[in-house]
Structure 1
């Protein structure tokens, strides 16, 4: 019996440049994994921790420099997904526990990644069609009750209007 193999396309790293924010990380670039779609376009396949205005599933255009590094030059199409970043308050009821953050948001079945053990920020993808109003309500409650701080790195009209 022969196994059927999908077209195996290797992921590439697309780099984004941005101005570092005061009081935030000193980095001015972030690399995101992406699946090539054409000569100069790719679909983002992980959640941005630092780059604003892009979400997992968005299609971006890139240019490749002389060193073979792929630099994002713009978004071609939006996926409808949103990027949300949540940092637990160390002195709050969740402590520095990113798993506790994920558990609080688990009812919404969001995909999430943890930045690092030293900085337990969790970046979530809220997929198009998710209960944006419910997510926003819980995020606001958690911030008010001292569980976490949060920000929206990439929101859609549906997110902002929910």
Structure 2
């Protein structure tokens, strides 16, 4: 496996809390890599996407462009500490699990959950739950990498 780094654009309020993010990837040859994990902060890429990367003078592989969409989507959810879930990342994962959505929590320091939506997921049900949770103050969410289907709902 190789680590492909993505440069991140930070907002004025300092989000995301890093200048770059490294994603594990399977080398495919000729500067091509298949992403192997769900990004925390990268926008426009998800697991299973095939990307190109170029090594810098230190040998660090930097993302260049997406070559093939892998069929997965990424949603990031931050549970509200002042809401019914009391900031519990595990509760977010539990809420989405019945919809066949997997994900991973970044931990207690940054309470963020990266959700991975596979191609067989009911996108409408997931989006409905995202909106419901936002409306009922369970969480905030953002679209890290979504399809036109998601956007059309």
Q: TM-score, normalised by structure 2?
A: 0.94
The separation in 1 between residues aligned to 2:19 and 2:59, in whole angstroms, is 19
For the Cα contact (< 8 Å) 1:82–1:159, is it kept in 2?
no
Task: Indicate which of 12, 20, 27 corresponds to 1:22.
Answer: 12
Aligned residues: 152
SS at match of 1:83: strand
The separation in 1 between residues aligned to 2:99 and 2:56, in whole angstroms, is 40
Partner of 2:125: 134
- Quote how far apart the aligned CAs of 1:129 are: 3.0
For the Cα contact (< 8 Å) 1:89–1:149, is it kept in 2?
yes
Output one character per residue of 1:1-29: Cα deviation in whole Å (capped at 9) or x when no partner.
xxxxxxxxxx1100011321232134221
The separation in 1 between residues aligned to 2:87 and 2:113, in whole angstroms, is 11
Root-mean-square deviation (Å): 1.1
For the Cα contact (< 8 Å) 1:85–1:123, is it kept in 2?
yes
For the Cα contact (< 8 Å) 1:114–1:122, is it kept in 2?
yes
Name structure 1 gaps, 5 residues minimum: 1-10
The separation in 2 between residues aligned to 1:87 and 1:153, in whole angstroms, is 13
Give the greater-gyration-radius structure (CA): 1
Partner of 1:54: 45
Name structure 2 gaps, 5 residues minimum: none
Output one character per residue of 1:49-106: Cα deviation in whole Å (capped at 9) or x when no partner.
1110101110100001121110010000001211000000001111121110111111
The separation in 2 between residues aligned to 1:130 and 1:56, in whole angstroms, is 15
Partner of 2:145: 154
Q: TM-score, normalised by structure 1?
A: 0.89
Partner of 1:41: 32
Task: Indicate which of 99, 106, 116 corresponds to 2:107.
Answer: 116
> Which stretch shifts more, 37-46 or 22-31?
22-31
SS at match of 2:67: strand
Task: Indicate which of 70, 90, 98 corresponds to 1:79.
Answer: 70
